[in-house]
Structure 1
Amino acid sequence: MQHCFTYGSLMCEDIMAAVCGARSRFVAASLDGYRRQPVCGQAYPGMVPAAEACVAGVLYLDLPASAWLRLDRFEGEEYERRQVVVQLPDGRTEIAWTYVFRPEYAVRLVDGEWDFERFLHTGKARFTAQYFGFDALEGDGPA
């Protein structure tokens, strides 16, 4: 069982549960040394290293092994899974996996900060319609 730090569409419990095929406990968390930016033409963000930045997100606790194959497939080739140390609101830290936007796709990132509240109000419906099949992701076979 391992933790997953999310910072975009997967901060929504319903989307995360559909992608993972299971529900998990979660807490607020933040990640220093990264920034979150919009991806051109998409409702979701990409996260990249940035020394003076911090990303607020959600830490899903103790994901089952079956969730990781589904998450890897969902995130696709634009992202790489990376282990990070996240900060919890009470000051504790946890080791977690997260998905970082690959440098070779950085040209697709738009300047500015991706806005979660805006996603909830204007992007979530479009996102879920566009990714309608994510709840049926299989752990093996082609993406």
Structure 2
Amino acid sequence: MFKIFAYGTLQVPEVMRAVTGSVFPSQPARLHGFARYRIRNRVYPGLRRETGSFTDGVLYEDVSARALKDLDAFEDDFYRRETLTVVTRTGIQADAEVYIVPPAHYRLLVRRSWNLEDFKETWFREFLTHCRRLSN
């Protein structure tokens, strides 16, 4: 079983369920040393290493190998999955799989932050429909 740190659209349980077909236990968590930015011409973000920064998100637990494979297929080719340490709201450290943008692809990032509430208000319904079509 795996742990996944989600910092973008996958923070929304409906999106995670549309992509993997499953619901996982989750809790708030934070990843230090990375900043979240919009990706050019996309409605979702990417992470880049940035000293002194942190990104809040959701730690999903008990993720199956099949669901991880579904997530790998869902994520764009410019992401790289790495095992990184996140900290839960209760202060517990956990190793989790995180999709980051490697330096070779930093040009895709727009130096504007990405906000979950803005995504939910503007793009959520359309994005969820897209995710459901991909999984069928």
TM bucket by the smaller chain?
over 0.9
Contact 1:43 1:124 in 2 (8 A): no
Residue 70 of structure 1: aligned partner: 70
1:56, 1:83 → 2: CA distance?
16
Residue 33 of structure 1: aligned partner: 33
Residue 141 of structure 1: aligned partner: none
Aligned pair 1:126/2:123, yes or no? Answer: no
Aligned pair 1:88/2:88, yes or no? Answer: yes
Structure 1, unaligned runs of 5 or more = 137-143
Contact 2:14 2:128 in 1 (8 A): no
Residue 16 of structure 1: aligned partner: 16
- Displacement of 1:30: 0.5
Contact 1:34 1:48 in 2 (8 A): yes
Letter in 2 for 1:76: D
1:134, 1:33 → 2: CA distance?
32
SS in 1 for 2:57: strand
Moved more, 43-52 or 106-115: 106-115
Contact 1:33 1:49 in 2 (8 A): yes
1:35-50 matches, within 5 Å, as 35-50=35-50
Structure 2, unaligned runs of 5 or more = none
- Displacement of 1:131: 3.8
% same residue: 30
CA RMSD in angstroms, aligned pairs only: 1.3
1:125, 1:9 → 2: CA distance?
11
2:21, 2:41 → 1: CA distance?
27
Give TM-score scaled by structure 1 length: 0.89
Between the two proteins, the alignment pairs up a number of residues equal to 136
Contact 2:19 2:131 in 1 (8 A): no
SS in 2 for 1:58: strand
For each residue in 1:50-97, what CA deviation from the matched residue of structure 2 results, as whole angstroms up to 9, or x when unmatched? 111000000001101111111111003111110011011111111110
- Displacement of 1:132: 4.1
SS in 1 for 2:28: strand
